[in-house]
Amino acid sequence: MNAIANMIDPHFILPFHTASETDHPRMGGKCASLSRMIALGAPVPGGFAVATDAYAAHLCADGLERAICAELDGLDTGDVADTEARADRIRQLVTERAMPAPVEAAIRAAYAVIAPGNDLPVAVRSSATAEDLPDASFAGQQDTFLWVIGADEVVTHVRACWASLFTARAISYRADQGLGQIEVLMSVAVQEMVDARSSGVAMTLDPINGDRTKIVIDASWGLGESLVSGEVTPDNFTVEKVLMQVQKRKISDKHHETVADSAARCTISRPVDGDRRNIPSLTDEEVIAVAQLARRLEKATGTPQDVEWAIDRQGRLMALQSRPETVWSQKKPVIATFHTGIEGVIGTLMAPIQNKI
């Protein structure tokens, strides 16, 4: 195993548990967040980042960067059909070019360390350098691949993540934001899969009104993809942040779940058994555990968080992602002013209306 570990080139591979703050710019938003959560002691599935240097090396190989720039020359994002066609050609360029040999060797060695039997299911997730930032959130615009098994498949899906930088939507987004096309680099997270019994998101404020005294949790059965895709309406729980008490709960009819099909080496969407459809996907104790994890991450980062989490089939809570909340946390607080006489009376009557604007 030491011989394999010695093959891991730190220029291309950054294990989550050993990465430092100085490494984070080479890890992208998602991978840097995972590294920070591990440093804070949060329960995070193990894995590693394929650093931005690996993607940069791929761009430099066989004139790939020049070919991409040629496809983007004269781009008009208002021409949707043309943008789609250019995006398709660029993604094909990225996936068909051979990965530089040193990069591929480093990825295979890093996977061998966490999967000695070459059979560990992992998630392969994009982690672009401009995503998960408070002022330019890319969340969801690049690809994620679940239940990937074997070094060959990991290498293939890393390359697919790189290619997902060039969907028509992502190209248009970068153009609109002035971020550049080649300048945005891609790291990739390779992370042990959680065989989730329940999963969801936790916001450390109320997303409806910005109330920071609340933690709001959405939860459903299985992996979080059914919730994120909108396939199911999740259960919803509101927790009072200081007292850690469940204040509200709304239990939904959760008719589908995304789960692992180990034999087929993939995930599938299947109907939920009738006796589970309308019961809570979390116990009250689990709701509080999720809320405590989210509050801990908020306190450590100093800003409201949007936390992805999962509870595996052994009942273990895992943190999958934590990013800054990007709506209410950026609003300027309303400074209250007080007046006497009729002006004060009118101001008091108008306050509930103004607060809703």
Over pLDDT 90: what percentage of the chain? 74
If pLDDT is split at 50, 70 and 90, which confidence band does 133 have? Answer: very low
Q: What is the mean pLDDT of residues 25-53?
A: 95
pLDDT number for residue 137: 46
Q: Which helix (H) or strand (E) holds 233?
A: none
- ∠ CA 206-324-219, rounded to 5°: 50
User: Of 152, 170, 192, which residue constitutes the final position of a domain?
Assistant: 192
The count of structural domains within the chain is 2
- Residue 199 pLDDT more than 70? yes
| Residue 111 and residue 12 in one domain | yes
Give the model's pLDDT for residue 255: 94
Summary mean pLDDT of the chain? 88
**Quick one: 41 and 98 in the same domain?**
yes
Q: Considering the domain boundaries, does residue 240 fall inside one?
A: yes
Distance from C-alpha of 231 to C-alpha of 109, rounded to nearest angstrom: 37
Give 226-254 pLDDT, tens digit per residue.
Answer: 888 888 999 999 999 999 999 999 999 99
**Domain finish residue from 176, 192, 208:** 192
Nearest to 204 by CA among 318, 335, 327: 327
pLDDT in the model for residue 351: 44
CA–CA distance, 328 with 14 (Å, rounded to integer): 33
Nearest Cα neighbor of 325 from 173, 239, 177, 208 is 208
* Whether residue 172 is found in the same domain as residue 130: yes
CA distance 101 to 23: 23
Task: With cut-offs at 50, 70 and 90, classify the pLDDT of residue 184.
Answer: confident
Query: Quick one: 183 and 277 in the same domain?
Result: no
Going by pLDDT thresholds of 50, 70 and 90, the confidence category of residue 82 is very high
Confidence of residue 174 (pLDDT cuts 50, 70, 90): confident
**Domain hosting residue 167, numbered range:** 2-192
> In terms of pTM, does the model score above 0.95?
no
Q: Does residue 84 register a pLDDT over 50?
A: yes
CATH number of the domain to which 187 belongs:
3.30.1490.20
pLDDT digits (tens, 9 = 90+) for 290-348: 999 999 999 999 999 999 999 999 999 999 999 998 888 676 644 444 445 544 544 44
> What's the average model confidence in pLDDT over 169-179?
88
Per-residue pLDDT for 26 more than 90? yes
